[in-house]
Structure 1
Amino acid sequence: MIHLTESAATHIRNFLENRGKGEGIRIGVKTSGCSGLAYVLEFVDEIESHDQIFEQHGVKVFIDPKSLVYLDGLEMDYAKTGLNEGFEFSNPNQKGECGCGESFTV
């Protein structure tokens, strides 16, 4: 299960409306950084047959089965703190992260 906060869902809906098309977003992981894995976000225009689909607050989130192993239980938020803003991930599978916060381990 993936959980989107209302703030994250609102931000994603705005992106999709400004873009003018899209079924939702895909969250995945890729090998990257000094800790091993990094989050990947991309728009979904065509649904893949193997996608797991989660819908909250009117937003569809697509995850491939390989990434779901690392992302099950993920909470995704959108926060603005001072001059910084962006998506924040709270992942119960995460055991550590690199010093710069760009990658994580499970």
Structure 2
Amino acid sequence: MSIASFDPQQPVQVTPTAVEHFKRQLGSAKDAKAVRLSVKQSGCTGWMYVVDLVNEARADDVHMQLETGVELLVDSKSLSVVSGTEIDYVTEGVNRQLKFNNPRVKDYCGCGESFSVN
């Protein structure tokens, strides 16, 4: 999969299909201006990705300008967990979903809800 906005200086890489997905989501959300990526503690393994549509950045967000004008905000407190992650939007059977390819993940819980990192 090609990366839409590969910049080794950025903490997260985003594929063209994920950028288009974010663009559609922002287009259908009334007041949203950006996409925020963060993690929260969850499940039996440790962390869960959280993707929110937001109308403004937080003071400590890391700003990433993607193709087609999409802005991705990365929560600075989540950087140690998400740094190096590639975000993709995939079709698997009849399901479409965001997929997070994080090279730092060492284990997933059985249900796939949470993960742990090195």
Question: TM-score scaled by structure 2?
Answer: 0.84
State the one-letter code of the partner of 2:36.
Answer: R
The unaligned stretches of length 5 or more in structure 2 are 1-10
- Secondary structure of the residue that 1:95 maps to in structure 2? strand
The 8 Å contact of residues 16 and 24 in structure 1, kept in 2 or not, is answered as yes
Q: What is the identity, as a one-letter code, of the residue corresponding to 1:33?
A: G
Percent sequence identity is 38
Instruction: Note the alpha carbon deviations across 1:15-64, whole angstroms, 9 max, x for none.
Output: 11111332211111001011111001101211111110112223211112
Name which of structure 1's ranges 6-15 and 92-101 shifts more when overlaid on structure 2: 92-101
Contiguous gaps of at least 5 residues in structure 1:
none
TM-score (norm 1): 0.93
Coordinate RMSD, CA, aligned: 1.1
- For the pair 1:8 / 2:18, whether they are aligned, the reply is yes
Aligned residues: 106
Is 1:61 paired with 2:72? yes
How far apart in 1 are the matches of 2:101 and 2:45? Answer: 16
- In 2, Cα distance between equivalents of 1:82 and 1:92: 25
Moved over 4 A (4+): none
